[in-house]
Chains A and B, each alone.
Chain A
Amino acid sequence: LAKTTQPISMDSYEGQEVNITCSHNNIATNDYITWYQQFPSQGPRFIIQGYKTKVTNEVASLFIPADRKSSTLSLPRVSLSDTAVYYCLVGGGYSSASKIIFGSGTRLSIRP
């Protein structure tokens, strides 16, 4: 099983770039890396997904080194509204029968 390890919490300030790293040493060849964001009293929301190298969308960037044993979610110029729990998830699609493991996430706190 591709278990993930993330920092329990991180703090930063508005306007800064925040990088959250996730370790997944047992990632399988077919596994993708997906990040979700969860605000208090809400369900998780998809942020970004990647397989290798770099993926960027309007919200974040995802950096994946060649060995794929870790990944880094990068949030540019964070604001107070980025305060949330961020989950790293590793696995394939439903058809690959990979187990879905979210873990405990990283609690990101943004200060003025």
Chain B
Amino acid sequence: DTAVSQTPKYLVTQMGNDKSIKCEQNLGHDTMYWYKQDSKKFLKIMFSYNNKELIINETVPNRFSPKSPDKAHLNLHINSLELGDSAVYFCASSQEQSGREQETQYFGPGTRLLVL
């Protein structure tokens, strides 16, 4: 009954490879996100989708391509992996609020990517 799940949990791969990380949420939320957390614990947003539509696209190399087949899924595909891509990637979801308060984000357990 995990609210936000990610697969795989660990991913070890060689430079230049292409890999995907999958995310699913069963909370019925409208918005999903991808974050990257580096070794210094700095958590940085990469993308945000609302109802399958790209909303936030931060300065991320175009080797990273999110795909949202439906409202409950937001996958992250990474082409030509580089050493600097090694990090923990978190998926999150939230429900748009009617008021102006900040939506509570629910995070997945993270995917630890190591590029060798």
Contacts and interface: CB of A to CB of B under 8 A. Distances in A.
Interface of A: 30-32, 34, 36, 38, 41-46, 49, 51, 85, 87, 89, 91-96, 98-105, 107
A94 B94 contact: yes
Given A85-B41, A93-B96, A49 B102 contact: yes
Interface stretch (B11-19, B42-50, B66-74, B77-85): B42-50
A51 B101 contact: yes
B105 A46 contact: yes
Given A43-B109, A93-B97, A95-B96, A104 B40 contact: yes
A26 B55 CA distance: 24
Interface residues of B, number: 31
A111 to B, nearest CB: 20
B102 to A, nearest CB: 4
Nearest to A96: B100
A1 B52 CA distance: 26
A43 B110 contact: yes
A4 to B, nearest CB: 12
Contacts of B92: 43
Task: Pick the most buried of B33, B42, B50, B105: most chain A CB atoms within 10 A of its CB.
Answer: B105
Contacts of B27: none
A80 B45 CA distance: 30
B88 to A, nearest CB: 9
Nearest to B55: A94
A100 B33 CA distance: 10
Contacts of B41: 38, 85, 104-105, 107
A46 B104 contact: yes
A78 B107 CA distance: 24
Contacts of B102: 31-32, 34, 49, 89, 91-93, 98
B100 to A, nearest CB: 5
